[in-house]
């Protein structure tokens, strides 16, 4: 019998099963599509783990002139026009949240920063506490800030009172994905392609996030 079976099976199976249902919000910012792809892989892993999943983007703040000057950026904006924007209601709905962002000078992009900075009201009401969170990132070169970006985002999560579910080295698939224990991260070449085989790492990270959220939700339901 596996660990999840031990936690959610046996005589209390019916009651525990209802508590183990997890709502997973995958909230991303992407200019040319890398983090959108990471978000889609995370959605795949979340659904395989039994979660209800929403893929959501944060608002674009860049001026239209900047977007139009970059064909790949413009094409991605058009491609994802119908992806829903993340709202406060989505955050409240979610038991678990996976963030995916590119690096901007070793930090999170202003689009995601503004999204987080507007959540003070929810934080003050305690609506962000005990969310299970994890994060992913991308850069254009190996030492461009993968880890710093994820750790910077986690700093906000600590203020929320959220529970960080980092992938660590809990599965060997992490090494093919780049070996970042804080969250899956990728480098993207000038051709726009990822240099790491990241799909498996992302799927594992999403499944782990959902599993931890199941444990937390089941535990909270017994208080």
The string of DSSP letters for 90-136 reads HHHH-SEEEEEEE-BTTB--HHHHHHHHTTHHHHHTTTTTT-EEEEE
Give the model confidence (pLDDT) of 36-47 as tens digits.
999 999 999 999
Q: Are strands 132-139 and 163-164 parallel, antiparallel or unpaired?
A: parallel
**Model confidence at 166: pLDDT above 70:** yes
pLDDT, one tens digit per residue, over 184-196 is 999 988 888 888 8
The CATH number of the domain covering residues in 24-221 = 3.40.50.360
Number of helices (H), then strands (E), in the chain? 11, 6
Give the per-residue pLDDT at 16: 41
pTM: 0.89
Average pLDDT over residues 35-59: 97
Confidence (pLDDT) at 223? 66
Asked if pLDDT for residue 12 goes beyond 90, the answer is no
Backbone angles phi, psi at 109, to 5 degrees: -70, 155
**What share of the chain in percent tops pLDDT 90?**
80
pLDDT(222) > 80: no
201 pLDDT higher than 60: yes
Residue 177 near residue 200 (C-beta atoms within 8 A): yes
Domain range summary for the chain, segments of one domain joined by +: 24-221
Going by pLDDT thresholds of 50, 70 and 90, the confidence category of residue 144 is confident
- How far is 218 from 223, CA to CA, in rounded Å? 9
């Amino acid at each position: 019998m596996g660990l999840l079976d031990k936690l959610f099976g046996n005589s209390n199976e019916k009651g525990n099963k209802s508590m183990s249902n997890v709502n997973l919000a995958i909230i991303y910012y992407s200019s040319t599509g890398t983090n959108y792809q990471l978000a889609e892989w995370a959605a795949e892993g979340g659904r395989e783990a039994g979660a209800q999943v929403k893929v959501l983007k944060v608002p674009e703040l860049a001026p239209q002139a900047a977007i139009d000057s970059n064909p790949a950026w413009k094409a991605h904006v058009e491609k994802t026009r119908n992806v829903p924007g993340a709202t406060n209601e989505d955050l409240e709905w979610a038991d678990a949240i996976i963030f995916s962002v590119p690096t901007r000078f070793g930090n999170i992009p202003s689009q995601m920063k503004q999204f987080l900075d507007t959540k003070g009201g929810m934080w003050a009401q305690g609506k962000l506490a005990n969310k299970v969170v994890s994060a992913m990132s991308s850069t254009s070169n190996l030492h461009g800030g993968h880890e710093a970006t994820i750790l910077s985002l986690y700093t906000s999560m600590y203020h929320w009172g959220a529970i960080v579910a980092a992938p660590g080295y809990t599965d060997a698939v992490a090494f093919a994905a780049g070996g970042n224990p804080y969250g899956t991260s990728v480098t993207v070449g000038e051709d726009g392609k990822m240099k790491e085989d990241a799909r498996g790492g992302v799927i594992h990270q999403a499944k782990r996030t959902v599993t931890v959220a199941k444990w937390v939700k089941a535990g909270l339901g017994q208080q």
